[in-house]
Structure 1
Amino acid sequence: MAVYSITDVEKLTGIRAHTLRAWEQRYDLIVARRSEHNVRYYLEEDLRELYNVAVLNRNGHRISRIAAMSPEERAAQVAALSSLNISPDTQLDALSHSTLEMNAEKFGLILDTNIDQRGFEETMMEVVYPFLDKLGVLYFTGSVTAVHESFVGCQIRQKLLAATDRLPPGTSDSLPSFTLFLPEDERQELSMLFIQYLLRRRGVPVLYLGGNLSPADLGDACKTHPTDYLFTILSSTYVARPVESLIREVLRYCPDSRFVLSGYQATLHDLSDMDRVIAVGGLREVLAFVDALSKPVDRNIAAAK
């Protein structure tokens, strides 16, 4: 059973520690448990209740009224807010809550509600990625565990695959083709799946090869499936080999393609003097690059060296 300190609860719910103590004293609301050394701590059911309290309070409910509700009434109010209110704070709270519960049904319902109201692309940009940023901070501060990250990754991956599968394949001869891949030891599958979705939605022909691809593997792929652009993400702060060395080897194996590089390493290195290499920054820069390419252009992309 997970145990949370008052600092953990503050990070996870956004409720300040002094506010938690005040609510406990004034309203007998979610009374902290005490260790044998008289240190406050909370269990998972306490955290779930505090999430509900935080969501209701941020949406205009007075704390005295919230305290008078039963846990079931609070949960029902939050469920109604989560389905109707698309404010960023409400969505992040609801997703965080369902993650701690590992409630796939609730997590999926929140995303599906946003997708119906915003569309899939905006939901990814305005809801999912801010939530992943928050989850990363919580993970590194020890407030959530690797299994929570795994749960979230699986839920989002399913949504990405389903949304992409509903799109027609990109077969336009007037648009450049893309091959997406991840190098060895690079973990950015969700972003690559989203980029595949963005390309497919704009009618761009795209082939996604997955992860742990070596330059030689890419060479074999390019022989079988010639492509205008190779696309990858290098986000790790540490790489086992120099980035320039990896790029040159990829270009040597794929002499007729251009190489588009995104992620932390793309911004860290000056690649302007490398032929056939295009560096783009974060996801919004990638999106702008994709939108620019979705306009019909000359197919002989790689000739512009």
Structure 2
Amino acid sequence: MSSYSIKDLEQLSGIKAHTLRVWEQRYNLLKPKRTETNIRFYDDEDLKLILNVALLNDNGYKISKIAKLSLAEMKAEVLKMTERSFAYDDQIHSLIITMVELDEERFEKIIATNILKIGFELTMLHIIYPFLSKIGILWQTGSIHPGQEHFISNLVRQKLIVAIDGQMYSGGGKKFLLFLPEGELHEISLLFSSYLLKASGHKVIYLGQNTPDEDLNSVYEVHKPDYLVTVITTSPSGEQVQAYLDSLSDRFSTSQILISGYQIIGQDLRIPPNVHVMQYLKDIKEYLVSLTHVA
């Protein structure tokens, strides 16, 4: 079972911690537990409850009315509401609940409905990726169980692979080599980059996660790509990142390198001339606008 601080609940639900405390006292909505050292925490059931409350409250339900609903009534109202609402925040909240409950069927229904309504790309940019960003922070701080994160990541990964397979290369465009450094396993952003590049008519050579340097060098020599794309979430980390950036820049000096990830964004790094930092996943989409589009 995962444990959450009130700040975790605030981040996931969008309801301020002060408001949550007021609701807790006035309506007895939440019943925090305490550790042996008397530190307050909340469990999965508390998170599901407050997410349902947030969804209803955001859609016009008064908190005084919500507090009178049973858990079954609240869940029924939320299911009806999310099936007719396509607000991004509502869909993200629903996905968080599927993660907590490990509900694959519900996850598939939410994603399929949104893809049908707004398309795969917008579903990724506005729903799945913000959702993954929320749970990624909690995973790194140990607030959620690794099994929950793996459950969701693998479902998203399956969706991306199917979408990528549907994009056929017809020649032309630029050549991109996509890889993750040795020890790096967080592949979602790289897979979506592959989808965007192929959908824009570019050639993609995909090496994936945990790519040894010697393999990267060998493939580079064969294909001589115009661009390299990578994401550094956990590896290399800290003081190793600068040396790794410098090494990439030197080894592949005739190519442009597009890079992103937790270890890159917002860090005090010296960025070599042929390296372009992507602040957000959507940046690669915007970067492609500057290239010749291939129908």
Which bracket does the TM-score occupy, shorter chain normalised?
0.7 to 0.9
- In structure 1, the partner of 2:109 is 109
Name the amino acid aligned to 1:271. Answer: P
Which whole-Å CA distance do the structure 2 matches of 1:225 and 1:25 have between them? 64
Per the alignment, residue 249 of structure 1 pairs with 251
Aligned-residue offset at 1:213: 2.3
Which consecutive residues of structure 1, in runs of 5 or more, have no partner in the other structure? Answer: 252-256, 297-305
Kindly state the Cα deviation for residue 148 of structure 1 after the two structures are TM-superposed. Answer: 2.5
Match of 1:171 in 2: 170
Distance 1:18 1:126 in 2: 28
Contact 1:179 1:227 in 2 (8 A): yes
1:3–1:44 contact (8 Å) kept in structure 2: yes
Post-superposition shift, 1:180? 1.2
Q: CA offset at residue 166 of structure 1?
A: 1.9
Which residue of structure 1 lines up, in the alignment, with residue 74 of structure 2? 74
1:185-238: CA deviation from partner (whole Å, max 9, x where unpaired): 334411110011001111212120112223431332245445333332345552
Q: How big is the alpha-carbon RMSD for the aligned residues of Structure 1 and Structure 2?
A: 3.1
1:64-104 C-alpha deviation (Å, 9 max, x unpaired): 32233332221122112223222233223212222222222
- Deviation, 1:60, is 0.6
For 1:3 and 1:271, locate their aligned partners in 2 and report how far apart those are by CA, in whole Å: 41
How far residue 292 of structure 1 moved from its aligned partner, in angstroms, is 2.6
**TM-score, normalization by structure 1:** 0.79
Point out where structure 2 has 5 or more consecutive residues left out of the alignment: none
Q: For the residues of structure 1 that align with 2:9 and 2:271, how far apart are their CA atoms?
A: 42
Aligned to 2:157: 157
Residue pair 1:280, 1:286 contacting (<8 A) in 2 also:
no
What's the CA shift string for 1:139-175, capped at 9, x where partnerless? 345432333322221121111111112222x132x31
What does residue range 43-192 of structure 1 map to in structure 2 within 5 Å? 43-168=43-168, 170-172=169-171, 174-192=172-190
Q: Number of matched residues? A: 285
The residue that corresponds to 1:300 in the other structure is none
Distance 1:216 1:34 in 2: 51
Residue 217 of structure 1 is matched in structure 2 by: 215
Partners in 2 of 1:228 and 1:28 — Cα distance? 60
Q: Secondary structure at the match of 1:212?
A: coil
Identity across matched positions, percent: 39
- TM-score normalised to structure 2 length: 0.81
**Pair 36,223 (structure 1): closer, same or farther in 2 beyond 3 Å:** closer
1:243 alignment partner AA: L
